[in-house]
Structure 1
Amino acid sequence: MKSKTLAISAISAALVAVSLTVGAYIGAADLFALIVASAFVIMPLYRGSYRGCLLAFAVGGVIALIASGFNFAYSVVFPAYFGFFGAYPILFSYLSDKNVKKPVRAIIGILWCVAAFYGMYFYYTLVMGLNLNDLPEWMPEFIKSAVVYSIGVIAVIFYFIFDRFIQVMRVFFNNYIGRITKDK
């Protein structure tokens, strides 16, 4: 890896670690921290380095896990990051660069997103003992009674929003890192 690529990867890993650590300590910011961390993971793609993305994904996640005191079980941040939010942007960018057709990418992404959402749901209900009676009072009754089905619908809707967000962030990073480094 070249030094510029390594530097961008290290900065990306540091930003991922900071985002995830904030999400682990501040419960209200967990989803925001996951989305921000997933955007920072793709920063090394400015230099076209998938190894840099994988480095930022792994190192940023491990540093955040250490900084949060191995809070893997009690925070939604780390299972969600390692299961979907960190790896999906890298896979999406790889499939886009390899010219995989959009319907195939969408099917892969939707299946992965739904599987990750259900995985997190069952992890926290069956393993961690989350009680479904703790749902907010403002939530409609038909959603409370059909939580399992609602998770699938929410995951599909979330996938399309998140997918577009990753596309926009990749263009954003390419433009602004290009202005800062004046490479292109």
Structure 2
Amino acid sequence: MGFSKEEMKNYIQKIYDRLDKVSPVDYDCGKLCGEVCCVYDLDEGAEELALYLLPGEELMYEDSDSFQLYYLDSSEIRYPHSWRGQIYLVKCTNPPKCDRSIRPIQCRTFPLIPHISKDGQFHLIVDEEEFPYTCPIVHDKIKLNEDFILETYNIWKVLARNRLVFDLIDMDSRKRDNCNHDYKIII
């Protein structure tokens, strides 16, 4: 996507703006669980949680006081071969009081994630990976708002046009398939 830094930041902001107009449920889902995904703490050897960023999304966090931006070298983690160099991640510095206006795309679209079936069809599925906490929306199978599902689907379809994003979605999809992971197709 041959964008300049400014164009990329504007592109990501437009995605954020679109996702700000929809919500998985009609209420603050954080009230169900005490914002467990934001405040999850490191207890007795628990694994630290951070969110990966999509290409260009790191630009949104350059001047943030709410999020710590850092990176890993692509050779240090299992990512598609097309991802070279730095893989950016963020974590909230003062949960749950992070700047919601710049929360990552994967936060905004949770609990839905993109999946490419073996026959090449693009879907959204519920993210049922094992987390060190329980998300009531996933655990209790709470019905998601239709506008949220459709907008999330449309956003991920646009994002998947970026070869790096597509490669990541494809890698994660094959991993689920190879592990015989059951998942529910939403759309």
> Fold conserved (TM > 0.5)?
no
Greater C-alpha Rg? 1
TM-score of the aligned structures, taking structure 2 as reference length: 0.31
- Structure with the larger strand share: 2
